[in-house]
Amino acid sequence: MRLRAKNLNWLAGRPVVILEKETAKKLNIYVNERVEIKTKTRKIQAIVDIFSKLIKKNEIGLSHEISAILKTKNNSYVEVSPAELSESGRLIKKKLSGKSLSKEELNTIISEVVENNLTEAEIAYFISAEKIKGMSIEEIINLTKAMVKNGTKLKFNQKIIADKHCIGGIAGNRTTPIVVSICASAGLIIPKTSSRAITSASGTADVIETIAKVEFTAKQLKKIVNKAGACLAWGGSLNLAPSDDKIIQVEKILNLDVEPQLLSSIIAKKISSGSNHVLIDIPFGKGAKSETIGEAKRLGKKFHKLAKYFKLKIDVVYTNGNQPIGNGIGPVLEMLDILAVLQNKQNSPQDLKEKSLFLSSELMKLCKIKNPRQKAEEILKSGQAYEKFKQVINTQNNSEDFEKRIQKLKTARFEKIILAKKSGKITHINNREINSLCRILGTPETKSAGIYLHKHLGKIKNQKK
Distance, in Å, from the CA atom of 229 to the CA atom of 247, rounded to the nearest integer, reads 32
Q: Nearest approach, Cβ of 89 to a second copy (angstroms)? A: 5
Closer residue to a second copy in complex, CB, 122/281: 122
Q: Nearest approach, Cβ of 171 to a second copy (angstroms)? A: 18
CA distances, 161 to each of 83, 174, 357, 372 (Å): 45, 21, 19, 17
Q: Nearest approach, Cβ of 408 to a second copy (angstroms)? A: 21
Catalytic: which of 49, 244, 257, 401? 257
Closer residue to a second copy in complex, CB, 125/318: 125
Closer residue to a second copy in complex, CB, 50/205: 50
Among 5, 50, 317, 325, binds a second copy (CB under 8 A): 50
Distance, in Å, from the CA atom of 114 to the CA atom of 295, rounded to the nearest integer, reads 31
CA distances, 443 to each of 214, 351, 437, 438 (Å): 18, 22, 9, 6
Q: Nearest approach, Cβ of 55 to a second copy (angstroms)? A: 10
Among 365, 409, 442, 452, binds a second copy (CB under 8 A): 442
Do residues 182 and 379 lie in contact, with contact meaning Cβ atoms separated by under 8 Å? yes
Closer residue to a second copy in complex, CB, 124/339: 124
**HSE (side-chain half, CA atoms, 13 Å) at 92:** 21
Among 1, 4, 39, 52, binds a second copy (CB under 8 A): 52
Vertex 123 angle, CA 291 and 140, to 5°: 55
Q: Which of residues 187-206 bind a second copy (CB under 8 A)?
A: none
- 418 touching a second copy, by CB under 8 A: no
Do residues 151 and 332 lie in contact, with contact meaning Cβ atoms separated by under 8 Å? no
Number of Cβ within 10 Å of residue 347's Cβ equals: 7
Distance, in Å, from the CA atom of 51 to the CA atom of 97, rounded to the nearest integer, reads 36
Closer residue to a second copy in complex, CB, 28/157: 28
Q: Which of residues 123-152 bind a second copy (CB under 8 A)?
A: 123-125, 127-129, 131-133
- 13 touching a second copy, by CB under 8 A: yes
**HSE (side-chain half, CA atoms, 13 Å) at 275:** 29
Q: Nearest approach, Cβ of 75 to a second copy (angstroms)? A: 16
Task: Respond yes or no: is residue 245 known to be catalytic.
Answer: no
Within 27-136, residue ranges assigned H as helices are: 64-70, 87-96, 103-114, 120-133
Q: Nearest approach, Cβ of 306 to a second copy (angstroms)? A: 24
- 8 touching a second copy, by CB under 8 A: yes
Q: Nearest approach, Cβ of 300 to a second copy (angstroms)? A: 22
Candidate ranges 23-31, 216-224, 268-276, 415-423; the one touching a second copy (CB under 8 A): 23-31
Q: Which of residues 166-185 bind a second copy (CB under 8 A)?
A: none
CA distances, 377 to each of 185, 187, 372, 449, 459 (Å): 12, 15, 9, 32, 19
Distance, in Å, from the CA atom of 258 to the CA atom of 251, rounded to the nearest integer, reads 8
Candidate ranges 102-110, 119-127, 261-269, 412-420; the one touching a second copy (CB under 8 A): 119-127
Cis, peptide link before residue 283, omega less than 30° from 0:
no
- 10 touching a second copy, by CB under 8 A: yes
Site string for a second copy, 98-117 (x = CB under 8 A): x-------------------
Among 1, 36, 49, 302, binds a second copy (CB under 8 A): 49
Closer residue to a second copy in complex, CB, 4/149: 4
Do residues 224 and 193 lie in contact, with contact meaning Cβ atoms separated by under 8 Å? no
Secondary structure element (H or E) that encloses residue 135, with its range: none
Report the greatest alpha carbon distance in the chain.
75
Local structure of 164: helix, strand or coil:
strand
Kindly give the pairing relationship between strand 16-19 and strand 59-62: antiparallel
Q: Which letter, b or e, does each residue of 402-439 get, where b requires 16 or more Cβ atoms within 10 Å of its Cβ? A: beebbeebebbeeeeeeeeeeeeeeeebebeebbebbb
Site string for a second copy, 76-95 (x = CB under 8 A): ---------x---x--xx--
Site string for a second copy, 242-281 (x = CB under 8 A): -------xx--xxxx-------------------------
Distance, in Å, from the CA atom of 337 to the CA atom of 178, rounded to the nearest integer, reads 10
R_g over Cα of the chain: 24
Distance, in Å, from the CA atom of 199 to the CA atom of 255, rounded to the nearest integer, reads 8
Closer residue to a second copy in complex, CB, 9/423: 9
Q: Nearest approach, Cβ of 142 to a second copy (angstroms)? A: 21
- 31 touching a second copy, by CB under 8 A: yes
Among 121, 382, 401, 427, binds a second copy (CB under 8 A): 121
Footprint of a second copy on this chain (CB under 8 A)? 8-14, 25, 28, 31-32, 49-54, 85, 89, 92-93, 96, 98, 119-125, 127-129, 131-133, 249-250, 253-256, 442, 445-446
Catalytic site positions: 257
